[in-house]
Amino acid sequence: MGRKLLEIAYLGTSYCGWQVQPNGVTIQEILQNSLYKILKYKPNVTGCSRTDSDVHAKQFFCHFDTDVNIPNNGLVLGLNTILPNDISAINCYNVPDDFHARYSATGKLYKYSIFLSEIKNPFLFGRTLLIKSPINLTLANEYCDLLKGKHNFEAFSSINRTVVDTVRTVSECYIDINDNILDFYVKADGFLYNMVRIMVGTLLEYSSGKISREDIAKAFSTGDRTLLGATAPPQGLYLEKVFYDNNDDIFFKDRS
């Protein structure tokens, strides 16, 4: 029995998130059913993150154990003939038995895309958040700087979170704007439930002057969710990249 790490990408618009649930179709369910057609049994696939409904992933990792002798590139090609067009297998790697797609990760980079326009674009529907009012970029950049560093992000999470420790370290936070699309990027050693979406909702209110620097500082010190903005909708959120200590090591070279 060996462990394989599968790299995939997907548009989450048609799915109820990653994790299998009784109330809708999920990425995990589709992937496990597709692997069943190749391996002739349904493996337990563990993901690197629990993305919500309508959330997308440009890079997502998951692991499973198998004793079926199949080349990694053959598994990727086989999956891509079975998976729907909004889910793609990218790579497959042999990893040690104690490697864990979620717990071995040292950090993640998320992006949230905002379309700044008074006119909607059907080609961006479900992939960006449409905002008709302009955003003060000076205040937006100031806000990004406030999020950097090690803080208690309790206020930036939903009450549905399942973890007790709410301290996280944000190593990068910045915005990039091209063709009226503002991309908010944040990289951290871990994320709480709805953390990025609350960051984005607060960004919109901070840049409009409704939330102050003092409010952010107080939110960090007290964990008071009411000091921050609304939770932004999911459709503009992308898991951009997952980081592991061995990104350049044998884990990610062994694709045979």
Q: What is the pLDDT of residues 201-231, one digit of tens each?
A: 999 999 999 999 999 999 999 999 999 999 9
* Rounded CA separation 213/137 (Å): 15
Residues in the chain: 256
Segment 37-62 mean pLDDT: 95
Question: Would you please indicate which residues are annotated as catalytic (active-site) residues?
Answer: 52
Between strands 105-116 and 129-131, the pairing is parallel
Segment 177-189 mean pLDDT: 96
pLDDT at 234 over 60: yes
* Rounded CA separation 203/57 (Å): 22
pLDDT at 256 over 50: no
Q: In the structure, what pLDDT confidence band is assigned to residue 159 with cuts at 50, 70 and 90?
A: confident
Of the chain, the percentage scoring pLDDT greater than 90 comes to 89
Q: How many CB atoms lie within 10 A of CB 222?
A: 13
What integer pLDDT is reported at residue 163 of this predicted model? 84
Where residue 121 falls (left for φ over 0; alpha for ψ -120 to 50; beta otherwise) is beta
Q: What is the dihedral of CA 82, 87, 89, 94, to 10 degrees?
A: -100
What integer pLDDT is reported at residue 255 of this predicted model? 47
Reference 61, options 46, 79, 42, 41; nearest CA is 46
143-155 per-position pLDDT tens digit: 999 999 999 999 9
Residue burial 48-64, b: 16+ Cβ < 10 Å; e: rest? bbebbbbbbbebbbbbb
Contact in structure between 153 and 219 (CB atoms under 8 Å):
no
pLDDT at 252 over 80: no
pLDDT at 248 over 80: no
Q: In the structure, what pLDDT confidence band is assigned to residue 246 with cuts at 50, 70 and 90?
A: low
Q: Between residues 162 and 60, which one has the greater pLDDT?
A: 60
Q: In the structure, what pLDDT confidence band is assigned to residue 74 with cuts at 50, 70 and 90?
A: very high
Contact in structure between 20 and 30 (CB atoms under 8 Å):
no
Predicted TM-score of the model (pTM): 0.93
pLDDT at 67 over 60: yes
* Rounded CA separation 246/249 (Å): 5
Helices and strands (DSSP H and E) totals, the chain: 5, 10
Mean pLDDT of the chain: 94
pLDDT at 251 over 60: no
What integer pLDDT is reported at residue 22 of this predicted model? 87
**CA-atom Rg of the chain in angstroms:** 19
What integer pLDDT is reported at residue 135 of this predicted model? 94
Contact in structure between 212 and 143 (CB atoms under 8 Å):
no
* Rounded CA separation 127/198 (Å): 17
Reference 147, options 105, 203, 101; nearest CA is 203
HSE, CB side, 13 Å, CA atoms: give it for residue 113. 18
What integer pLDDT is reported at residue 216 of this predicted model? 98
pLDDT at 30 over 80: yes
| Percent helix / strand / coil, the chain, rounded to 5 | 30, 30, 40
Segment 16-26 mean pLDDT: 92
